[in-house]
Structure 1
């Protein structure tokens, strides 16, 4: 395992909610893809059924944190300052994938763009 792989496993392992949801990630070069497998306990609306929006938002935030850990060793886990999410449709009962792009990485603040798809 490379250093980036070790950091990725460590950051996802340090987030209890990521373990609860079963979030994993694959690293190909410097490109990381996070994976949220579908499970019944993440359904928010059983009538549709649709994945709970909070689960999707948390998954995208975890993807951003994981990408930051892959980009550079972090002394401590960063805090989220602001999140803006645009839901384009309901999350279907399928495996969800996400990829993050670091737009700006400063000493104190990072701007990360995350896209999720099914």
Structure 2
């Protein structure tokens, strides 16, 4: 679902599902996504984390009728992202009456060695 979003298409993002049914995203490296030489632009990594959060929300059946309304997102860059394929996955931490809290992480060659993490708060539509 997220991979159909125009921005996700611009980044080349595609969805995958792990053995437990959790949705993740993959983004190929491209010269258009390079920041400083040899590294991904930080905004692209942040965008991948945001898209992963939205994908997790969509996986819970949220935000089908109405676009999600992000409140904020916090990104922690842990190391430089190399110009290789990157992956991201998110999980809903709390599905409140008005706000959804989501955590995400991004990695490249080793899932246990993330390059960035993120936390996002999303406003739920009234009556959700």
TM range (shorter): 0.7 to 0.9
Q: Alignment RMSD, CA only?
A: 1.3
4+ aligned runs moved over 4 Å, structure 1? none
Answer whether contact 1:102 1:111 (CA < 8 A) is retained. Answer: yes
Answer yes or no: is 1:41 the counterpart of 2:29.
no
Q: Which residue of 2 aligns with 1:93?
A: 83
Q: Give the Å deviation of 1:76.
A: 1.3
Q: Give the Å deviation of 1:95.
A: 0.4
Answer yes or no: is 1:117 the counterpart of 2:112.
no
Residues of 1 paired with 2:101 and 2:52: CA distance?
13
Residues of 2 paired with 1:72 and 1:30: CA distance?
14
Q: Give the Å deviation of 1:86.
A: 0.7
Q: Give the Å deviation of 1:64.
A: 0.4
User: Larger % of helix: which?
Assistant: 1
- Note closer, same or farther for the CA distance 1:12–1:76 as it changes in structure 2 (3 Å cut): farther
Query: Residue 106 of structure 1 is aligned with which of 71, 84, 96?
Result: 96
Residues of 2 paired with 1:27 and 1:73: CA distance?
18
User: Larger % of strand: which?
Assistant: 2
Answer yes or no: is 1:25 the counterpart of 2:20.
no
Residues of 2 paired with 1:16 and 1:106: CA distance?
29
Aligned length: 106
Q: Give the Å deviation of 1:106.
A: 2.3
> TM-score w.r.t. structure 1 length?
0.83
Gap runs ≥5 in structure 2: 109-128
